[in-house]
Structure 1
């Protein structure tokens, strides 16, 4: 049961922080009935008990009208009056002459600009507060404290405000239309000026080119540098191989002679052997 209660409280706190901009430390505005319930049920310290249900640090506030109401109730609420004096007194212009519930409603206003959590035991006051967007209410039940869940009117207010932020208002539509017309007018004027500038630059470039051509003709300078065309040369002699000579193909001792019938005859040189050694051996025998 305690885990479920903590989940509900965290969900409600997340709703108010995300949709209405509540920030830590949370400010809690207490009336006399709530402080009296804390004193009777001995819930102390009060700031720690409230910070446990909100899961964040808190600051407790009250008003002069609440203090004066507790004074008028007499000795039965003397301890509650002493406990309320320890809270921070927020400013109200009533000087203690107004009822506590009407004083709190006037401080909250229509939009709760100071982002107060309101702690009260008054059921009528809680019902009125839940009809105002962005006003969370805290109450006590015996020795436990509870945070009211956001009402249907508060959830509907958040939904309608989100839908309104998605669409443009008439004023925003008029401003957007005016801005687009101004941008289109400036673009058209810029395009026309750019065209005129381009036309002038082209005329200047053409005049400069014609002047340069006339000067070159007078001087005799050609437009482009003419290079000599390279002719094909012979092969590199260093990279070429030498021709091979075959010695046995046509020996120098060979003689050619043509006969009457056109045939070529070759006479080979015969080697004569010396018989000197042979004759000397024969004579000896």
Structure 2
């Protein structure tokens, strides 16, 4: 739950910094009710607690009217008065003392030019400040501090201002028309000085030339993609070719004949040497 709350606070702070120009360190305008809430719930130090909520260093401010109102409330608010006197005082320019609600409304003005975060426990004041664009609100709930999300009016104001910024104003539209007329008149004056053979102005020819030049430049500027073609195999990954043996029929015939003759002689000799005479023939010779 705590993670979701911190994520929501970061999103709200990012909204006001991106859309309304809030910058660090953030300035927080505290009224008497908020200071009293911090003292009663022992949320101290206040600057570190607010810095944890906003995710950035802060500077705390109050006004002379708020201090005078705390002083008039009696002894029960003496501790809150002492804590508020340690804060920086924002300029309110009120000769006579006003209520804290009116003083804060005057300091904020119509568009919160000083970029104040307003910290208050007054529900009515928070409701009124939600109708002012660019005013983030901080309030306390028991011992926790919360940052209100942007109101529907603030979101609608931002959307309408973005739409108005994207369109041309009446003054810009008039200036654009004047420049167009001046350029057109200059081109007509330049073209009227050079008549054509048929009596027509050369303005049309110039327009054709400029259009053709633009077409040629567009063609040159276009990126020309190369077609992928089939490539040969990687020579480093291929095996080397083995040399083929020579096939000469004449040489092979002579060699084969020699080999055959030698083989036949060796076979004959081996057979003749291994041949043995039988014993019967010896016996016949002896008897004879």
Same fold (TM > 0.5) = yes
- The answer to whether the 8 Å contact 1:64/1:95 transfers is no
- Deviation track 1:215-267 (CA, whole Å, cap 9, x = no partner) reads xxxxxxxxxxxxxxxxxxxxxxxxxxxxxxxxxxxxxxxxxxxxxxxxxxxxx
Aligned to 2:235: none
Which sections of structure 1, spanning at least 5 residues, go unmatched? 197-285
- Deviation track 1:117-166 (CA, whole Å, cap 9, x = no partner) reads 00000000000011111101000011100000000011011111111112
Aligned to 1:101: 101
Q: How far, CA to CA, are the matches of 2:96 and 2:191 in structure 1?
A: 71
Aligned to 1:167: 167
Q: How far, CA to CA, are the matches of 2:69 and 2:159 in structure 1?
A: 39
Q: How far, CA to CA, are the matches of 2:178 and 2:28 in structure 1?
A: 46
1:185 shift after superposition:
3.2
1:25 shift after superposition:
0.8
Give the 4+ runs in structure 1 shifted more than 4 A. Answer: 187-193
Aligned to 1:138: 138
- The answer to whether the 8 Å contact 1:53/1:147 transfers is yes
- The number of equivalent residue pairs is 195
- When Rg is computed on C-alpha atoms for both structures, the one with the higher figure is 1
Confirm or deny that 1:124 pairs with 2:124: yes
Q: How far, CA to CA, are the matches of 1:190 and 1:14 in structure 2?
A: 55
- Deviation track 1:65-115 (CA, whole Å, cap 9, x = no partner) reads 000000000111001001111111011111451001101001111111111
Pairing 1:43-192 to 2, within 5 Å after superposition: 43-95=43-95, 97-189=97-189
Of the structure 1 ranges 184-193 and 117-126, higher mean CA displacement relative to structure 2 is found in 184-193
Which sections of structure 2, spanning at least 5 residues, go unmatched? 196-288
Give 1 or 2: higher helix fraction.
2
Aligned to 1:41: 41
SS in 2 for 1:146: strand
Q: CA RMSD in A?
A: 1.6
Q: How far, CA to CA, are the matches of 2:144 and 2:161 in structure 1?
A: 34
SS in 1 for 2:140: strand
